[in-house]
A and B are shown apart, each in its own frame.
Chain A
Amino acid sequence: MVEPHSITNGGYTYIHDVDKGPIEAIDTHHVIARRNAAKSVIFNLSSFILIANPLFLFFVKDKLAMALLWSLILCAFFVKLFFQKPIEKESVIIMPAFGVQLETHYRSGRIIRRFIPIDKILKAVVNECVTPVTCYWTLSLIVRGEEELTLVFKEFRPPLKLLVPIWKALCAATDSADNPDAFTQEGSGS
């Protein structure tokens, strides 16, 4: 088995595994969310204070305004950090000439898998998505028969540096399905 190749960028770690199976190499790309230690501490602290606040309110009635303000501020913190992604890892397993499997691993142990046959994938695209507050890159697949693009990473927003190798691998796999001779050239070139 080839040595796993990893890059760390922007809160995510990317690991690339190539498993030389009996017929053809299976390409696996994992993106793992890095646990932010500071964030977990603040999360625990703020949830503790928030729980403690109503009790405080109950006992000290005259300092109502101050207490209310504190609770509101901490609520905001709490809400922001509460939406800690429950997803631990997202993977893309490329089986050339067969298909692509998208996996989502949750911290609770649940794994959701989705398989897309190779002939259904028209193209892998890297897109810029604009929201009212930000703009980020996504990797998606144009799938035959589906109106909307299929996102490869449902919740994660890995930076472009991590998306590009996966995109190149997906393009190589889909191109080789159309054109079987091209695969060996791409494999040795890129």
Chain B
Amino acid sequence: VVVMTHAYGNRSGVRYMTGGLKVYYVPWKPFLMQNTLPTFYGTLPIIRTILIREKISLVHGHQAFSTLCHEALMHARTMGYKVVFTDHSLYGFSDVGSIHMNKVLQFTLADVTQAICVSHTSKENTVLRSGLPPEKVYVIPNAVDTAMFKPALERLSTDEVVIVVISRLVYRKGADLLVEVIPEVCRLYPNVRFIVGGDGPKRVRLEEMREKHSLQDRVDMLGAVPHAKVQSVLISGHIFLNSSLTEAFCIALLEAASCGLLSVSTRVGGVPEAWLKICSFCLLILYFSVVLPDDMIVLAEPDPADMVRAIEKAIYRLPQVDPQAMHLRMKNLYSWHDVAKRTEIVYDRALRCSSQNLLERLSRYLSCGAWAGKIFFLVMIIDFLLWNLLRLWQPDVDIEVVPDFDPVHRERGNFSGDIGDKCSQ
């Protein structure tokens, strides 16, 4: 497996990760929110070089907002590779930003071999936005790293209830809802404290709210929390609050549940689905063993009054929650090994799909829309021409293939012998 992404700060070039995973940090500068500027054909040479030298068979792109992903998938399709796309988010249909994003997505998905979504809601959303046939879309929910997200060894005292919020403080994640909900809950319950982790444009509003209601000692603002520290922040609380206005699949809730926190969340997108799975598992266990808490989550509508009610219910339910039991349940249900196995099945199906010639593929672009179809068609034709020009300038045989070697078993003697043999082949 080879990963390709853009450079982060001065982290650029080739890096090897655990297990021999090779990562290419290509030095294209990101310009907005970790996204590189769309260059259309600028990335064609480097993508072609990487695909040939690593003997790639299939290209898997992630996230609709990533320009590098769309470009890589476009070039890979032009060069005849099989392509899989995973969508991790839900988007709207009505605002200008969404309309453009949907068009770009339609372009990429017009010719994708297979697609993966993280929930059934997300699958519906993707199919509607892109017009992709539903048979091509698979649903593989995300997992959570239960080895990392473990509950605290000692249960926290319940004299003071601590509510943890960790999210990007942006409109989509319901930061405005938090501004309404936090003062109300603090007024009703004098023993409740809030810990807010994360950063974003709405942080200023939260700081103002703190000052206006004099809640400096009851609301802690931690700023951006690095991923490695998230677990330590979570285990310092009893309840996890998620106020997203839209969520394809909330992995933060799973991480919180894995740490033994009771969750309160807005009833949006793929959230109920993720929890339906856990609840049905609960019902089965009830028949055969000791009574378990009936729910690990309290859902609410995305409006302040309903959320305050939900928090009240959660505080009332708190004494019955057993963090260790919750953690064990999460461990059994969500594992990355399972996700990897299912993803491999999707790859096998993609590789078995028949290759199509240029004309058939181009005709699919024309059906994307009256004007858009023709633009997409033109874009792909130019890409095809540029690719052939590049092949004339630097033929495929001139690009050296990287020798296969296993860095895990690297000893000085073995390694040099190995690479020497592979090179002379």
Whether both chains belong to one complex is answered with yes
Contact present for A128 and B416 (CB under 8 Å): no
Question: Is B295's CB within 8 Å of the partner chain A?
Answer: no
Task: Give the segment of B45-53, B270-278, B357-365 that binds chain A.
Answer: B45-53
Max chain B Cβ within 10 angstroms of own Cβ: one of A133, A137, A165: A133
Max chain A Cβ within 10 angstroms of own Cβ: one of B27, B423, B424: B423
8 Å CB interface, A132-184 against B: 132-135, 137, 159-161, 164-165, 167-168, 171
Question: Is A36's CB within 8 Å of the partner chain B?
Answer: no
CB distance from A151 to the nearest CB of B (A): 14
Contact present for A168 and B416 (CB under 8 Å): yes
Contact present for B49 and A135 (CB under 8 Å): yes
Select from chain B the residue with minimum beta-carbon distance to A171: B416
Select from chain A the residue with minimum beta-carbon distance to B419: A164
**In the complex, chain B residues whose CB is within 8 Å of the CB of A131:** 27, 46
Question: Is A60's CB within 8 Å of the partner chain B?
Answer: no
CB distance from A7 to the nearest CB of B (A): 9
CB distance from A86 to the nearest CB of B (A): 22
**In the complex, chain A residues whose CB is within 8 Å of the CB of B27:** 130-132
CB distance from B415 to the nearest CB of A (A): 10
CB distance from A1 to the nearest CB of B (A): 24
CA distance A171 to B416 in the complex (A): 9
Given known A-B contacts A130-B12, A164-B420, A190-B416, A159 and B26 have beta carbons under 8 A apart = no
Q: Which one, A10, A127, A161, contacts B423 given CB within 8 A?
A: A161
Contact present for B49 and A134 (CB under 8 Å): yes
Question: Is A69's CB within 8 Å of the partner chain B?
Answer: no
**In the complex, chain B residues whose CB is within 8 Å of the CB of A2:** none
Select from chain A the residue with minimum beta-carbon distance to B45: A133
Contact present for B423 and A164 (CB under 8 Å): yes
Given known A-B contacts A130-B14, A160-B403, A168-B420, A135 and B398 have beta carbons under 8 A apart = no
Contact present for B49 and A161 (CB under 8 Å): no
**In the complex, chain B residues whose CB is within 8 Å of the CB of A134:** 45-46, 49
Contact present for A130 and B24 (CB under 8 Å): yes
**In the complex, chain A residues whose CB is within 8 Å of the CB of B420:** 164-165, 168, 190
**In the complex, chain B residues whose CB is within 8 Å of the CB of A112:** none
- Interface size bracket, B side: 20 to 34
Select from chain A the residue with minimum beta-carbon distance to B417: A190
Select from chain A the residue with minimum beta-carbon distance to B26: A130
**In the complex, chain A residues whose CB is within 8 Å of the CB of B53:** 135
**What's the A-B contact tally at a CB cutoff of 8 Å?**
55
- Quick one: CB contact mask for B4-34 with A, threshold 8 Å, 1 for yes? 0000000011100000000011111000000
Contact present for B400 and A160 (CB under 8 Å): yes
Select from chain A the residue with minimum beta-carbon distance to B424: A161
CA distance A168 to B28 in the complex (A): 33
Question: Is A129's CB within 8 Å of the partner chain B?
Answer: yes
CA distance A121 to B423 in the complex (A): 25
8 Å CB interface, B389-410 against A: 398, 400, 402-403
- Quick one: CB contact mask for A118-130 with B, threshold 8 Å, 1 for yes? 0000000001111
CB distance from B379 to the nearest CB of A (A): 20
CA distance A159 to B398 in the complex (A): 9
CA distance A10 to B394 in the complex (A): 11
Contact present for A137 and B423 (CB under 8 Å): no
CA distance A129 to B7 in the complex (A): 13
Contact present for B25 and A130 (CB under 8 Å): yes
8 Å CB interface, B86-140 against A: none
**In the complex, chain A residues whose CB is within 8 Å of the CB of B45:** 133-134
**In the complex, chain B residues whose CB is within 8 Å of the CB of A137:** 400
Among all A-B residue pairs, the 4 with the closest Cβ atoms? A133-B45, A128-B14, A161-B423, A164-B423
Given contacts A130-B12, A130-B25, A133-B45, 14 further A-B contacts (CB under 8 A): A128-B13, A128-B14, A128-B402, A130-B27, A132-B27, A132-B28, A132-B42, A134-B46, A137-B400, A159-B400, A160-B403, A165-B420, A167-B416, A190-B420
- Which residues of B line the A interface, CB within 8 A? 12-14, 24-28, 42, 45-46, 49-50, 53, 398, 400, 402-403, 412, 416-417, 419-420, 423-424
**25 A-B contacts (beta carbon < 8 Å):** A127-B14, A129-B13, A130-B12, A130-B14, A130-B25, A130-B46, A131-B27, A131-B46, A132-B26, A132-B27, A132-B46, A133-B45, A134-B45, A135-B49, A135-B53, A159-B400, A160-B400, A160-B403, A160-B423, A161-B423, A164-B419, A165-B420, A168-B416, A171-B412, A190-B417
